[in-house]
Structure 1
Amino acid sequence: MSFDHTIKFSGRVEDSESRRALLIAFEALRVKGYNPINQISGYLISGDPAYITNHNNARNIIRSLERDELIEELVRAYMRDQG
């Protein structure tokens, strides 16, 4: 594998689906008393769905998307906030 060239990454999902899944998971975790940032980060790093609560079907909703799609939405939102 050569590291001399840039590989183009193409997103596969509309950001609204990823955004919705992240917001549902965030709110479900908050309601259940978890730290949503820590729990979602744990899920994205490990891939272990046990980091996400089943409350309001949040675990199934977030698992319906690939983790890279969720990370892409997080980067998109962060960059939007940077102006």
Structure 2
Amino acid sequence: MLRGSGEHTVSFKRQRDDEDQVHSILKAVYEALEEKGYNPINQLVGYMISGDPAYITSHRQARNLICKVDRDEIMEILIRKYMEK
């Protein structure tokens, strides 16, 4: 539980999953969504915003795979990679 008057910035740190594993999972999920005819970007954004795994197809176990990684970890990696470019 976070406490405070809202005047201080809360530091957020978490234990990281292996970045290569996260990349492999995102790639597999992306490919499964493409194979089923979905727009992978739209579906992944929907999942990231809502947390609802129904945005991800069960084709090729993609839904099970994406649920193995915390959304916070995915966002952290994506932002870090985006800012490096």
TM-score, structure 1 length as denominator?
0.84
Runs of 4+ in 1 over 4 A off after TM superposition: none
Q: Which has the higher contact order (CA 8 A, sep 6+)?
A: 1
Does the alignment pair 1:7 with 2:20?
A: no
Matches within 5 A, 1:1-83: 1-12=4-15, 13-81=17-85
Give aligned pairs, total. 81
Q: Please, which runs of 5 or more residues in structure 2 have no aligned partner? A: none
* Alpha-carbon distance in structure 2 between the residues aligned to 1:11 and 1:47: 18
Question: Aligned AA for 2:11?
Answer: K
CA contact 1:40–1:52 (8 Å) conserved in 2: yes
Identical counterparts, % of pairs: 49
* Alpha-carbon distance in structure 1 between the residues aligned to 2:71 and 2:7: 26
CA contact 1:11–1:72 (8 Å) conserved in 2: no
CA RMSD across the alignment: 1.4
TM-score, structure 2 length as denominator?
0.82
